[in-house]
A and B are shown apart, each in its own frame.
Chain A
Amino acid sequence: MRFGQLTYDLAHLLGGAVLLMSFVLLYQRRIGAVINAFAMQGTLLALAAAWQAHAQHAPGLYLTALLAFGAKGVLIPIALHRMVRELNLHRTVETALGIGPSMIAGVGLVGLAILAVLPATEGVRALAREDIALALSVVLLGMLMMITRRNAISQVIGLLSLENGLILAAIGVTGMPLVVELSTAALVLMVAMVAGVITFQIRERLDTVDTGSLEEHRGERR
C-alpha cells in the first residue's frame, strides 16, 4: 500500500474520521450529543474494520466490524441513553478542564502522538506509521476525556473511545494474528465496565459509588 492508492486513502480517511469524532466527543457539552458522537465513532470504526477486512483479505475482520457496530454503534449508546433518561442525570457535561482548553490539550496530544511515532524509520511502511499515529491520538484523547470530564457517562465514553483507538490500531496492522480474539476480549472488558456503571447506578462520577462511606475506609485519616 502506498500513498495515492485507494486502499490507503480510504483507510486513512476512515482513521482520520475516527480521530475527528474523538474531537467531537471532547467538544460536546450535552450528554446526549456525546453519546451520539460516540455511536458515530463506533460506526466509523466498524466501517474502517470492514474496509481493512476487504483490503487485507482477512474475513475475520468482518466479524470485528460487526461486533464493533453492534456493540458500540447501537447497543451501548442505547443503553447509555436509557440510563440518562431513567436515572434523570444531568444533561450537561461537567468539565474539570474547560472545552476550549480540552481542545487545545487534544491538539497538543495529537502533536505528541505524531512526534512519538515520527522516529520510526522509513523501513516501517507509511501506512502503519500514520495508522499508529492516528490510533495513538485516539487513545490519548480518550484518556484525556476520562480525566477531564466529571460525569460518569462521559468518563465511560472516554474509556470506550480509548478502546476504539486500540481496535483502530489492531485492524490497521496487516497480518495481525488473533486480532479478532483480542478485539473481542477488549470489548468484553468494556462491556463489563459499562455493565458495572449501570449495575452500580453510578450517577455522578466514576469515583463515587456512595460518597458517604468512603471517608472511613479509604482515607484512613482520622
Chain B
Amino acid sequence: MPLQWVIVFFAWAGAVVLAAMPNQRHATVVNAAVSAGMFLLAVALMALPFEQHGWTRTDVLNMPFVLVSTFVGLTTAVFSAATLEQEGFDHWRSRAYHAAYQIFMGAQTLALLADNLGVMWVAIEIATLATVSMVAVHRTPAAFEAAWKFFILCGVGIALALFGTIVLYLAAQPLLTEETGLSWTALMAVAARCDPATLNLAFAFLLLGYGTKAGLVPLHSWLPDAHAEGPVPISAVLSGLLLNAAMLAVLRAKSIVGANPEAVTPGPFLLAFGLASVLLAALALWRRRDARRFFAWSSIEHMGIAAFAFGLGGPAANLAGLLHLIGHALVKSAVFFGVGRAAQLKGSQKIADIGGLVATHPALGWGLAVAILAIAGMPPFVIFASEFRLFSVAAAELPWLAITLALGMVTALAALITVLQALCFGVPTPDSGGALNGWREVASAVPVWLHLLVAVGLGIAMPLGLATMLATAAQVIG
C-alpha cells in the first residue's frame, strides 16, 4: 500500500482501536500517539518524490497542507489529552469522540491527498459526517441545533459539489478514458479542450458546494454555531483543517476552469465571495457576545481573504492565499485552544465572563493575546506576510476593491482588538473551577505557543524548500 493510503488507514485503524477503548485516559494518550504517527508519516511522505498514484497524488499544492494539517492534528490531540476531562464525557461519548476524531483526521488527509475528484468528494463527506457527530457530542440543545444546521447546510453544499463533479466529468468526458476519469491530473491535461460552457456550469456548482464547506458568505450560516458548540479541540480542527480542505477543493476546481481560455474567468467569482465574506464578517464581529462564535466569524473573514487572494490570481496573489490558509490554520487553532481553555476556566464562553486573563493566567493570557494579534495580521507571523503580499498586489491591480477589502479588515481589526483587550486585559473575572493539574496545565498551553512559534518561523524565516514548494504551487493554480 502506498504511503498516502497508509496515513489514511493508519488514522482509521486508530479510530477502530479508540472506539474499543473503555478507559478515557488511555484513549487520550493513544489518540495523541496516533496523531503523532500521522504527522511522522506525513513528514516521511514529504521525503518521497511527488507523484500521482492511483486515486491520490502528492504535489507541491497539497503537501504543505498535509504537513500543516497533521501537525495541527497532533497538537490538537495533545491539547485534547490535556483538557478532555473538562468536557465531562462519559466513556461512551469519549469513545465516540476519539473515534470520530481519527475518522475525521483520516478523511481530512484523504481529501487533501486525493487526485480523483470523486474520492475527494467522498472524503469530504466522511469528514463532514464525523464532525457533525463531534459537534453534537455534548447533546445540549444548542449543540444539537448547531450540529443539525451544520449537517443540513453542508449536506446540501456537498450535494451541490457532487453535481458539479458530475458535470465536470461530463465536460471532459469525450476526452477521457474510464481509467483516468475524474483524475485532477487528467482533467488538467485536457481542460483547455473541454467544452467551456459545461465547464462553467461545473465550476459554479463546485464553487458553491465546496464554498459552503469553506464558509464563504452567503453560504456561511452553519459555521459560527458549529465552531462554538462542539468540544474545544473540534473548533480548532474545524477552523484549521476542514476549511482548508474545502478551499483546496475550490482551488482544484478553479485551476481546471482557469486552464480553459474560453471558460469564464473564475477570479471575479472568488473575489465577490471573498469580499462579501470579509465585509459581512467584519460587521458581524461587532455583534458577538460569545467568544468562540466571535472567532468563528473571524474564520469566515479569513477564508474571505484567502478567496479574494485566489480570485486575484497570479503567482504573487496565489502565494499570498496559500500562505494565508496555512497561517490561518496554525494561528486560528491556537486562538481556539486559548479561548477554549479560558472558557473552561471561567465556566462560560461569553466574552463578558472572561477577562483579565494575563493577570491570573499569564501563559494562557499572553498566548491568547499574541495569537489574536497574529490573527489580526500583526507581525512577525505568517498571516502578516500573506496579507502584506495580498494587499501589495491587490492595490495595484484592483485598487478600489483593495480599499474596500482594507475597510473591512480595519473594521475587523478594531473588533479583534476590542475583544483581545476584553478577554486578556482588565480586571480578572473569577474562575469557576476548570483548573488542571501538573503536566496538563503545561500541555494545554504548549500547543498555543508552539503554533505561534511555527507561525513566526513561517512568517519571516520559512525553510527554503517549503517556500519553493509554495511558490511553485502558486503558479500551478494559475
Contacts and interface: CB of A to CB of B under 8 A. Distances in A.
Contact of A220 (B160, B182, B197, B289): B289
A196 B198 contact: no
A2 interface: no
B201 A117 contact: yes
A106 B288 CA distance: 38
A166 B163 contact: yes
B148 A196 contact: yes
A135 B165 CA distance: 13
A114 B223 CA distance: 33
B192 interface: no
Given A132-B167, A174-B173, A178-B119, A159 B156 contact: yes
Interface residues of A, number: 51
Given A169-B166, A181-B122, A189 B201 contact: no
A4 interface: no
A164 to B, nearest CB: 11
Contacts of B166: 135, 166, 169-170, 173, 176, 182
A124 interface: yes
Interface string B167-189: 10111011011110110000000
B290 A209 contact: no
Interface stretch (B138-146, B395-403, B418-426, B454-462): B138-146
B122 A209 contact: no
B209 to A, nearest CB: 11
B195 interface: yes
Given A143-B156, A159-B156, A182-B122, A218 B144 contact: no
B148 A166 contact: no
A101 interface: no
Interface in B81-111: none
A192 B121 contact: no
Given A175-B173, A175-B178, A189 B158 contact: yes
Interface in A120-139: 120-121, 123-125, 128, 132, 135-136, 139
A121 B195 CA distance: 7
A189 B160 CA distance: 13
B212 interface: no
A177 B159 contact: no
A61 to B, nearest CB: 13
Given A128-B173, A169-B163, A192 B122 contact: no
Given A159-B155, A178-B119, A189-B158, A213 B173 contact: no
Contact of B144 (A177, A209, A222): A209
A189 B156 contact: no
Nearest to B225: A218
Contacts of A163: 159
Interface string A89-106: 000000000000000000
A79 interface: no
A33 interface: no
A214 B140 CA distance: 11
Nearest to A174: B173
Given A128-B170, A163-B159, A185 B145 contact: no
A213 B145 contact: yes
Contacts of A166: 159, 162-163, 166
A173 B174 contact: no
Nearest to A116: B201
Interface string A191-215: 0110010001000001001101110
Contacts of A196: 148, 151
A213 B118 contact: no
B198 A120 contact: yes
Interface string A43-65: 00000000000000000000000
B249 to A, nearest CB: 15
A162 interface: yes
A146 B152 CA distance: 10
A94 B204 CA distance: 31
Contact of B116 (A124, A174, A178, A192): A178
B18 to A, nearest CB: 21
A165 B145 contact: no
A214 B229 CA distance: 12
Nearest to B182: A177
Given A116-B201, A166-B162, A189-B129, A217 B156 contact: no
Contacts of B387: none
Nearest to B178: A175
Contacts of B200: 119
Contact of B125 (A118, A120, A178, A189): A189
A132 B201 contact: yes
The 6 closest A-B pairs by CB, nearest first: A213-B141, A217-B142, A119-B197, A177-B181, A178-B118, A120-B197
28 contacts: A118-B197, A120-B197, A120-B201, A124-B170, A132-B198, A132-B201, A135-B163, A169-B163, A169-B167, A173-B166, A173-B170, A177-B169, A177-B182, A178-B116, A178-B119, A178-B181, A178-B182, A181-B118, A182-B122, A189-B159, A193-B155, A209-B141, A209-B145, A209-B148, A210-B144, A213-B140, A213-B145, A217-B229
Interface of A: 116-121, 123-125, 128, 132, 135-136, 139, 143, 146, 159, 162-163, 165-166, 169-170, 173-178, 181-182, 185-186, 188-190, 192-193, 196, 200, 206, 209-210, 212-214, 216-218, 220, 222
Given A116-B201, A213-B141, A217-B145, 19 more contacts: A117-B197, A120-B198, A121-B195, A159-B156, A162-B156, A165-B163, A169-B166, A175-B176, A177-B169, A177-B178, A178-B181, A182-B118, A182-B166, A186-B159, A193-B151, A209-B145, A216-B142, A218-B142, A220-B289
